[in-house]
Amino acid sequence: MVDYSPASRKRRKLDDGAPYEGPLPRKYRQWDASALVPHYNHKGDMPPSIQKWFPRRHQLFSLYDSGCLLDEVGWFSITPEKIADQIAERCRCDVVLDAFCGVGGNAIAFARTCERVIAIDNSPVRLALARHNAAVYGVVDRIEFILGDYISFARSYAQLASSSSKRRKIDVVFLSPPWGGPEYNKPGDSEAEGGERAAYHLDAVTPVHGKELFELSRRITPNVAYYLPRHVDLAEVGALLDKEGETVEVEEEWMGNRLTAVTCYFGGLAEGQEQLFDAETV
């Protein structure tokens, strides 16, 4: 029951004027997630498993010192800001869906190039951190945050008839699914022996096989950007396409002298295939 008594109104007024000393602009203070995870200013305060990321914190978020927050998964899985900006430039459109938004690395970049961002994650903590970080960057009003399972979302969306008023147009889907935890990058036996690094296979993608994830997403839009490990098996990526003549463009993402990942652009996002951008989905 809501208490509308004059005493309560007075109390609410006092609360509204309460001092706020958190990191967000005052108008966004309801999104302050500082209680969820620490903001680290010293490497030594971090759990050992994530300490190696501390020197790179400004590559992850250039506004890190303004109060950006990451949980442990966020530290090792966020897309570094310059790479996120590059992907967002390639995905410039009206409505982009960030299917696995994590702590917001890509969603924040999309908010600067797209009219509207739909950001999904099934972790309530990471979704709250993403919203907090978007508020640090001043773009929180351009992003709709949805707590949920992308696979269920995509299946329900695909079942809606294209004429249904509930089927909101989504121009681009961006996929940065979990790659299988920090283990995904462990060198295989052959590399440890000085041989080639074993390829990363799409069956290691979670929460479903990477091929199924792609096919589900293509029922939403032909325009899919798929962020994958640098050692992904590119023959498998090419084999995702069954349409004659359609090609995938693979962009290498470098940070300094390190190749960190690849982004695979499908449909109208691939250079020379712009005419596919508004094509019907299957």
Ligand X SMILES: C[S@@+](CC[C@H](N)C(=O)[O-])C[C@H]1O[C@@H](n2cnc3c(N)ncnc32)[C@H](O)[C@@H]1O
Q: How far is the CB of 163 from ligand X (least distance, A)?
A: 27
In the bound complex, what is the minimum distance in angstroms from residue 92's beta carbon to ligand X?
18
Cβ at position 197, least distance to ligand X in Å: 20
Pairing of strands 116-121, 95-98: parallel
For the CB of residue 36, give the shortest distance to ligand X in the complex, in Å: 14
CB nearer to ligand X: pick between 38 and 124: 124
Residue nearest to ligand X (CB): 105
* For residue 207, cis peptide bond before it (omega within 30 degrees of 0): yes
Q: Smallest gap, in angstroms, from Cβ of residue 5 to ligand X? A: 42
Residue number, 100 or 273, with CB nearest to ligand X: 100
Q: Smaller CB distance to ligand X: residue 200 or 273?
A: 200
Contact footprint for ligand X (CB under 6 A): 73, 77-79, 100-106, 120-123, 126, 149-151, 176-178, 207
- Comparing CB distances to ligand X, the nearer of 182 and 207 is 207
218 neighbors 281 (Cβ within 8 angstroms): yes
By beta-carbon proximity to ligand X, the closer residue of 60 and 93 is: 60
